[in-house]
Amino acid sequence: MIRHIVMWNLRADSIEQKAHHIETLRLSFESLNGKIPGLLHLHIGVDQSRVDYACDVVLYSEFESTQALAAYAIHPEHLRAKAEIGDMRIARHQVDYEIT
């Protein structure tokens, strides 16, 4: 099994705009549950610490295999979700690791 974790910082001119961008991202990515073969679990978390070095949002997901994660990367539904958040993001960090 592969764990795929992505963290984003989002562009916003106000607290309200940041909240809107977070909700857009959450809805876009959580809609992938049940639509992509090999995607076992996907959850979006929103930072509550508000420390200056924290990311705004984290995606936590698990895949059956490395091949399932590779298929997810090019799946049309995933590409749709990525396009929906488009230029809302200003930074993205990723970690993928095997669970034994």
Tens digits of residue pLDDT in 16-54: 999 999 999 999 999 999 999 999 999 999 999 989 999
Confidence class of residue 100 from pLDDT cuts 50, 70 and 90? confident
**Residue ranges covered by each domain of the chain:** 2-98
Neighbours of 68 (CB within 10 A): 20
The sign one gets for the Cα dihedral 99, 27, 49, 9 is: positive
- 23 HSE (CA, 13 A, CB side): 6
Where does 2-98 sit in CATH, by number? Answer: 3.30.70.100
- Is the pTM above the cut of 0.85? yes
